[in-house]
Structure 1
Amino acid sequence: MTGRNPLRAALLSSCALLFPVLAPVLTPVAGFAQGVEQTENLGTIILDTKRDVATDTGVAVTTIDQEEMDDRQASTIAELISSVPGVTLINGSTPLGGGINIRGFGASTAYGANQKVMVTIDGATQGGDEVYRIGTQLFTDPELFRSVSVIRGTIGSFEFGSGVVGGIVQLETKDASDFTGGEIGWKFRQGLNFGTNGDAISSSSIIAWQPTENFELMFNYVWHKQDDQEDGDGNRFVDTGFKDPSYALAAKYTFGGDRSQYLRLSLADTQSSERDVPYDRLSSGSSFGRVDSDNHSRTVALTYGWNPDDNDLIDLKVILSYADLEMDNRALTPSFGFNDARLRTETTKLTVKNTAIFNTGSVAHELRTGIEFSRRDRLDAPSSPGGRDNRVAVFVIDKMDFGNGLTVTPALRYETQNIKYVGSTAAFAGEYDHDELMGGLAARYEFQNGLAVFASGAYTVALPISDDFDAQNKLNGTKRYNYMEMPEKARTWEIGASYSGADVFASGDALSLKANFYTTDNWSVTSLASIKAIEVRGVELEAAYSLGNGLYGEIGANITDGDSQLYSDDRWLGRYSETPADALRLVVGKRWDRELDLSWEMVAAKRYADNSMTCTATPPTPCPISGFGVHNLRATYRPEQGILAGAELRVGIENLFDRDFRPRLATRDAPGRNIKFGIYKTF
């Protein structure tokens, strides 16, 4: 297992170096902290940056809010979260031709998704199938949502699902009150966006109506079209254009004497039709033939909430959700038979959970408990066996605050499964039952000067999915592995530190820092052909700083290394094939109140060379990938007077110098220069 000890030493050295780096920061803060009896007396630190750092938790989580989503003008969800440390895209500028990889897990060059990266929309679970060569199953439009959060690693996942190794992408749809501000009446918001690379155009029309204080209704229609883009050398990405109409509906009714209860219904719907395109969306190759493809994603969630003001033991949520993903491919040219298939997955889930706040002696508890029933049905198709997957899960998470800065959070999840093949092919026949107990423990200690240290350990199990019925490709000499009897298992350890403070270097400034070191062992692997076990190690860094005069800056970085073990001879390779490249994101900007915001963003990645494998010029073999640094400019202007008063004008230039480069794990070069313009107006 070459290369492990040097990296571990480097990570430990980096952790040791973190505190000397913070020393200049802590010195001026020490005086501020004197006489403070409780940590919370420091107050809330408000950063005037595009993105804050989650220093109040040891979980590695990053949230992109509505303002930043508008600022980035992303074409896809994957493109929107590409700036989060630890997130790597396999392509990403097209809805169906890429995938999301977090910490080296999730999408690969063969499969656009698996259950190691979970995606939810208003609590409804999306995708997770290992559909060969299709790419991501999350092609819904970013304009439908008001926020997206990325939880990296396992420790924050037990409330939401099992088998999460890379992380969770959580999306929330918009509400009418996001536009009405809770006031009775109606609002209409129209947005138009244009992009020069691929002649992209999108329109978002939102009607928000609040007839009473207790009822609100929102309808959002998005039309998005983009032709084939070009790389920095002017080469066209053939068959990558798309046209995606989408819409969302949200209705919420609040009731009860203290308005403590509510019912919320949300619907998100996206369609995509493509003609004469490759079945292989990941590399646009011709070996799998060409198809006419119609794709449809529907998500419905009905939520009941009850949180009475006079009872801290009740904060109840009941969520009934339904997700329907349909990909209909009709073959135009002969191939291996994979390309004439209707791939459809329907997931119905009922979740009942409650948060209770109480004390036992000097310890304050925030106890989250829940039970989840899910049913997942998938059609039988070539290369993608169908099946019915029924599960029941219960979880318990207790955040215990000892009152002296120490918080300890144990988490448990128990899940049972019955899965059976429902197609007609005898080779895949079978029915299997599994049950697994998983969980973790997190601890965080916050000093009185804004510094906090944290650590966690987590163990999770990915129960088999319908794709595992296909044992034909799981051969190893004379051995045959039945993946239906081999749940994937993973263990992750994390340690880190954070700091949040105000008036650090100058009056009116604010600073947030967070460093997180992790190591993940994944064994009994079934989601990657020929790979038996994976070890990934890395560090993620986030920082944000703002001054009272409107200047601000952000830094995000990740350094990752990994190894993998083969089924064939138990040999450890020098490098795990899906290891992301080390990457850095730097933002510097200035705000003039709410009227004008100008920023420069630099995204860079280190050269990636894998000398342990034979390198060819054809993906997905991990050839040496050159390092790169690309520059993006963004501007937001909100006129306060004149005919455009109340409007938002946004201009962005991505890949400013039109550089030709290929990110690590991508199967094609990145898009060249793209000038984006957007205008939004609320009436």
Structure 2
Amino acid sequence: MITPLLRGTTALVCLSLAVPAAAQGTDTPGFLGTLIFTGGKRDLSFGTALARTVVDEEEIQDRQASTVAQLIDSVPGVTLVNGTTPQGSGINIRGFGANTTYGTDQKIAVQIDGASVGSEELYRIGTQLFTDPLLYKEVEVLRGTIGSFAYGSGIVGGVVLLETKDASDFTEGEPGFGGSQTFEYSSNGDGFASSTNLAWMPAEGAEFLLNYTLRDQDDLTAGDGDTIGNSAFRTPSYLAKGTFTFGDDDEHSLSISHSRTVADDKDVPYDQFDTSGGTFGNVDRLTDTAQTAVEYRYNPASDLIDLRANLSYSDQVIEYDYVPGSSPLEGTPTFPFLLSTVNADQQYETTKLTVTNRAQFDTGTVSHDMLAGIEAQRRVRADNSDAGAPGGTNDRFALFVIDEMSIGAVTVTPALRYETSHIESETELAGVPDNYDKDGLMGGLALAYDFGNGLSVFGSAAYTENLPIIDDLGTSASAQYRITTSEKSHTFELGAEYTGTDVLTTGDTFSVRGNLYETTLWDITSYTGTSSTGNLERVETRGFELEASYGRKSGFYVDVAGHLGSGEEFDPDEDGAVWRNTAADRLQVTLGQKFDDRLDLSWEVVHTGDRRDSTSEDLPDVTLHNLRATWAPEQQGWLDGSEVRFGIENALDEDYVGHLSSPTRPAPGRTFKVSLTKAF
């Protein structure tokens, strides 16, 4: 099944020249031997079977993205669905995640400082990852199932982990005051953003950070000059964070973070995937998303103890008020039902406690790096059954263990997760039970072999179950099937990587990683088919991902990220058809030159093929050109700590619709961007 993907792989590899200069460790649970090599725009992860990409703070600032979804669509296998607004955009990884009806299908997980967010199936609303990129110093994307067992069940596409900024990032770890001010402007839609960071370390062991970010954007313009409706937004965001370290050798630490983003939109389409009110009409919509996380860490001078306890709470409230006269159905017999949908307020709350311990020990010739943990979670959703959003409570409990075992050049990593779920309806369900129980045992095995000369090979197999959710409650036969059935999937991966120095010339660095994957999903409850049962029998996806980097001492660098993929969906009594959410074939190449850490110039070319819109209509290939420049003036006087960034996105003003996006929502045309950051 994977063989057809090898066509074109050679061409990708030939283009894959790109960079590593420094190496450092990572705290990612499981597969803990990861090294991160840096040098160009992107950190690359090596020494692990995990498909992992990190977008650091420098790249976050360089890309000047309006949403997190817009930021990470440069990662192989990741697709931004339906535009660049916080409410409407969705994240799709390897063909799973956002789709044409909901912003999520429960097969990707999103966490902010450990708090689970953006996981409700709200009709015609995007991913609900409703936050601003400038609140974060790092976004980590884990692709596939094998790295997901510490984060949840049923994860097929991957995990998005966001880490908020810390005060020590601005005070350089020394007592005193610090901070920064960033202003951004984009020509398309007259976009404006201001982000203020105020940091204070009154003494060693205590630090506090306040951030206020305001982002404002009018309607965007497409490449053909037409206005893109429903693309304006205004979102103030807040972040407050405190961290305390104490005890012998600072063995104890306590971190508290709270972030919030609010939008108060007037007379906007209810359907966030579309550009006009359409049948649903317009609404006044207030969206208020907040998340709070408290993490305690005990890390004494012992290889057997590195204890973390993370307690988080996330809350999203969406309030609607229909705008009279905005729907063409007003006055018809069907209008009362539509009105109950567009006037229905939404709220869901998730409280979660995760406790883990990382232990390093030897058993004979085997070295272990083991992460073990427990997780308890309660999700509460307000009832809006008239709008297709049943209310209830979902209590889950999970145990997981990931043991990275090294035996010479061989690394074997088994991972297990056991999860139980209890769902209770908020309202009485006529003729069917009001509560449901389900459990699942899932896990995987990763193997890696290091040849000792910079070359290593790896492979993995993983199985997971997507347990029923509150959205599956209902009295119909299809609802009863969903609430009593767990979706199941397995994923196989195989790859190789190489990293070395002095490859083409003295002092250069080169890293490349290629990864093949194949996933099968069955017992499907998230998608409907065209058969007599209305259910799909299975979905099969496969793909090849490439990340590479090359850099010279002169400052020249090349970064490459690519994906080739395909997928089929199968009805019980029909032949296979193209999987409706298949990720596009994509190749991104960045050529750059750095001048003494003062100036960084880059040209990014992104070619996307095998594209289709949300109705599965084929779209032509598209090639985009993006130009960026980062200038750090010589550090003296008032210029100390300042950086200026320029960018041109879609430089040739291409008129196109994004992959998997609504055909009525074109992508933005040429956009000039500039930002100024001053640290103090």
TM > 0.5: yes
Corresponding position of 2:366: 363
State the 1:532 CA deviation: 3.5
Letter in 2 for 1:507: T
Matched, 1:541 2:533: no
- C-alpha spacing 1:374/1:12, structure 2 compared with 1 (3 Å): same
Task: Give the structure-1-normalised TM-score.
Answer: 0.91
Contact map agreement 2:35 2:45 (CA 8 A) in 1: no
| Contact residue 206 and residue 218 of structure 1 kept, 8 A | yes
Take 1:274 and 1:394, find their aligned partners in 2: how far apart are those partners? 42
Return closer, same or farther for 1:303/1:20 CA change in 2, 3 Å cut-off: closer
Corresponding residue to 2:445 among 441, 445, 470: 441
Q: What SS does the corresponding residue of 1:258 show, helix, strand or coil?
A: helix
**Counterpart residue type for residue 343 of structure 1:** Q
Residue 386 (structure 1) aligned with residue 381 (structure 2):
no
Deviation (angstroms), 1:626: 0.8
The SS at the match of 1:341 is coil
Change in 2 beyond 3 A, CA 1:427/1:123: farther
Structure 1 residues 423-502: aligned runs within 5 Å: 423=427, 426=430, 430-470=434-474, 472=476, 482-502=481-501
- AA partner of residue 275 (structure 2): S
Measured after TM superposition, the shift of residue 22 of structure 1 is 12
Decide whether aligned partners of structure 1 residues 207 and 515 sit closer, same or farther in structure 2, where only a CA change above 3 A counts.
Answer: same
Give the secondary-structure state (helix, strand or coil) at the position aligned to 1:467: helix
Q: Report the AA paired with residue 357 of structure 1.
A: Q
SS of 2:116 mapped into structure 1: strand
Residue of structure 1 in register with 2:667 after alignment: 670
Question: Is the Cα–Cα contact under 8 Å of residues 17 and 560 in structure 2 kept in the other structure?
Answer: no
Give, in whole Å, the separation in 2 of the partners of 1:679 and 1:13. 44
1:257 aligns with 2:248: yes
Residue 223, structure 1, aligned to residue 227, structure 2:
no
What CA distance in whole angstroms lies between the structure 2 residues aligned with 1:498 and 1:20? 12
* Distance in 1 (alpha carbons) for counterparts of 2:170 and 2:16: 44
Distance 1:9 1:188, change over 3 A: closer
The question of whether the paired residues in 2 share the 8 Å contact of 1:99 and 1:107 is answered with yes
2:569/2:576 contact within 8 Å kept: yes
CA distance in 1, matches of 2:667, 2:72: 16
- Is this contact kept in 1: 2:236–2:261, CA < 8 A? yes
Q: Distance in 2 between matches of 1:290 and 1:434?
A: 39
Q: Does the residue aligned with 1:493 lie in a helix, a strand or coil? A: strand
Aligned to 2:49: 58
Question: Quick check: 2:35–2:46 contact (8 Å CA) kept in 1?
Answer: no
Q: What is aligned with 2:154?
A: 163
Question: Is 1:680 paired with 2:677?
Answer: yes
2:4 to 6, 10, 13: 10
CA change 1:635–1:19 in 2 (3 A) is: closer
Residue in structure 2 matched with residue 210 of structure 1 by the alignment: 201
Query: CA deviation digits over 1:99-134, x for unaligned, max 9?
Result: 000000010011111310100001111121111111
Letter of the aligned partner of 2:299 in structure 1? N
For residue 655 of structure 2, the aligned residue among 656, 660, 675 is: 660
Rounded to whole Å, the distance in 2 between the matches of 1:343 and 1:546 is: 49
Within-5 A mapping of 1:26-425: 47-285=38-276, 286-309=278-301, 311-333=302-324, 334=330, 335=335, 336=338, 337-381=340-384, 382-403=387-408, 405-423=409-427
Answer whether contact 1:638 1:645 (CA < 8 A) is retained: no
Unaligned runs of 5+ in 2: 19-33, 325-329, 530-535
Determine the structure 2 residue equivalent to 1:595. 598
Distance 1:23 1:431, change over 3 A: closer
Whole-angstrom CA distance in 2 between matches of 1:21 and 1:605: 18
Distance apart, 1:10 and its partner CA: 2.2
% identity of equivalent residues: 46
Aligned amino acid, residue 136 of structure 2: F
AA matched with 1:442: A
State the number of aligned residues.
641
- Deviation at residue 659 of structure 1 after TM alignment: 0.8
Residues 252-287 of structure 1 deviation map (CA, whole Å, 9 limit, x = unaligned): 000001111100001111001111111110123511
- Alpha-carbon displacement from aligned partner over 1:158-215 (angstroms, at most 9, x marks no partner): 0111010000000000100011111010013111000110100010011000010110
Task: Provide the residue aligned with 2:27 in structure 1.
Answer: none
Instruction: Give the 3-state SS of the residue equivalent to 2:46 in structure 1.
Output: coil
Matches within 5 A, 1:547-586: 547-566=552-571, 569-586=572-589
Counterpart contact for 2:119–2:127, Cα < 8 Å: no
What amino acid does structure 2 have at the position aligned with 1:409?
T
CA separation of 1:163 and 1:501: change in aligned 2, threshold 3 A: same
2:614 is matched with 620
Distance 2:455 2:201 in 1: 43
Q: 1:470 to 1:626 in 2, by over 3 A?
A: farther
Task: Say if 1:76 and 1:92, in contact at 8 Å, map to a contact too.
Answer: no
User: TM-score, length-normalised on structure 2?
Assistant: 0.91
Letter in 2 for 1:444: A
The 2-side partners of 1:49 and 1:658 are apart by 26
Please report how far the alpha carbon of residue 663 of structure 1 lies from its aligned counterpart in structure 2 after TM superposition. Answer: 1.9
Partner letter of residue 552 of structure 1?
Answer: Y
CA separation of 1:284 and 1:383: change in aligned 2, threshold 3 A: farther
Task: Find the residue that maps to 1:602 and give its secondary structure.
Answer: strand
Relative to structure 1, is the Cα distance of residues 73 and 519 closer, same or farther in structure 2, using a 3 angstrom cutoff?
same
1:632 alignment partner in structure 2? 626
CA deviation digits over 1:526-572, x for unaligned, max 9?
11222342100111011011100000011111011001122xx4323
Contact 1:45/1:500 (8 A) holds in 2: no
- The structure-2 alpha-carbon separation of the partners of 1:492 and 1:408, relative to structure 1 and needing over 3 Å to count, comes to same
Query: What's the secondary structure of 2:578's corresponding residue?
Result: coil
CA distance in 1, matches of 2:106, 2:16: 41
C-alpha displacement of 1:644: 2.4
Provide the secondary structure at the position in 2 that maps to 1:338.
helix
Q: Separation in 2 of the partners of 1:139 and 1:19?
A: 34
Deviations 1:619-653 (A, max 9, x none): 63111111000100000101114542321000110
SS of structure 2 residue aligned to 1:10: helix
> Which runs of no fewer than 5 residues in structure 1 stay unpaired?
26-42, 610-618
Instruction: Give the structure 1 partner of residue 29 of structure 2.
Output: none
User: What is the rounded CA distance, in whole Å, between the counterparts of 1:312 and 1:9 in structure 2?
Assistant: 44
Q: Secondary structure at the match of 1:483?
A: helix
Q: Secondary structure at the match of 2:618?
A: coil
Deviation at 1:581, TM superposition (A): 1.6
| Cα distance in 2 between the residues matched to 1:129 and 1:187 | 38
How many Å separate the matches in 2 of 1:630 and 1:254? 47
Shift of 1:44: 7.7
How far apart are 1:428 and its partner, in Å? 7.6
Say if 1:348 and 1:376, in contact at 8 Å, map to a contact too.
yes
Q: Tell me the distance in 1 between the aligned counterparts of 2:250 and 2:17.
A: 48
Using the TM superposition, give the Cα deviation of residue 325 of structure 1 relative to its aligned residue in structure 2, in angstroms: 1.1
Deviations 1:369-426 (A, max 9, x none): 00000000001111111110001100011000112x1100000000011001113564
Q: 1:53 aligns to what SS in structure 2? A: strand
Contact 2:212-2:237 at 8 Å conserved across structures: yes
Change (3 A) 1:427 1:23: closer
